[in-house]
Amino acid sequence: MRHLFVSVLGMAIAGAVIAPHAAAADVVRYAALVDGGKNAGHQIVTTAADGSTTVEFVFKDNGRGPELTEHFSLAADGTFQRYSAKGTSTFGAPVDETFSRTGNAVQWRTTSDHGQQDIDGAGLYTPLGGSPEAMSVAIAALSKRADGKLPLIPSGTLTMRKVSEAQVVGNGRDTRKVQLLALTGIGFTPTFVWATEDATPRLFAFIAPGFLQLIQDGWEANGNALEAMQKSAEGKALVDLQEKLLHRLPGTTLVRNVRVFDSEHATLGAPSDLLLRGGRIAAIAPAGTVRDKADQTIDGAGRVLLPGLFDMHAHFSAWDGGLHMAAGVTTIRDMGNDNATLQQLIADGKAGRLLAPHIVPAGFIEGESPMSARNGFVIKDLAGAKAAIDWYH
Task: Specify the higher pLDDT residue, 210 or 147.
Answer: 147
- Residues 6 or more apart whose CB falls under 8 angstroms from that of 110 comprise 95, 96, 97, 98, 128, 129
Question: Taking residues 196-215, what's their average pLDDT?
Answer: 94
312, pLDDT greater than 50: yes
193, pLDDT greater than 80: yes
CA-to-CA distance for 152 and 191, rounded, in angstroms? 16
Whether the pTM exceeds 0.75: the reply is yes
| Tens digits of residue pLDDT in 109-118 | 999 999 999 9
**How many H helices and E strands in the chain?**
6, 25
CA gyration radius for the chain? 25
100, pLDDT greater than 90: yes
Amino acid identity at 367? G
- pLDDT of res. 375: 80
Amino acid identity at 379? I
Residues in the chain: 393
Highest mean pLDDT among 21-25, 82-86, 342-346: 82-86
CA-to-CA distance for 58 and 72, rounded, in angstroms? 18
Task: Specify the higher pLDDT residue, 6 or 39.
Answer: 39
Contacts for 308-312: CB closer than 8 Å, 24+ residues apart: 308/357, 311/357
357, pLDDT greater than 80: yes
Question: Taking residues 22-37, what's their average pLDDT?
Answer: 85
158, pLDDT greater than 50: yes
175, pLDDT greater than 60: yes
Task: Specify the higher pLDDT residue, 169 or 187.
Answer: 169
HSE, CB side, 13 Å, CA atoms: give it for residue 263: 6
- pLDDT of res. 353: 85
Among the residue ranges 156-160, 172-176, 223-227, 358-362, the one predicted with the least confidence is 172-176
Question: Taking residues 337-352, what's their average pLDDT?
Answer: 90
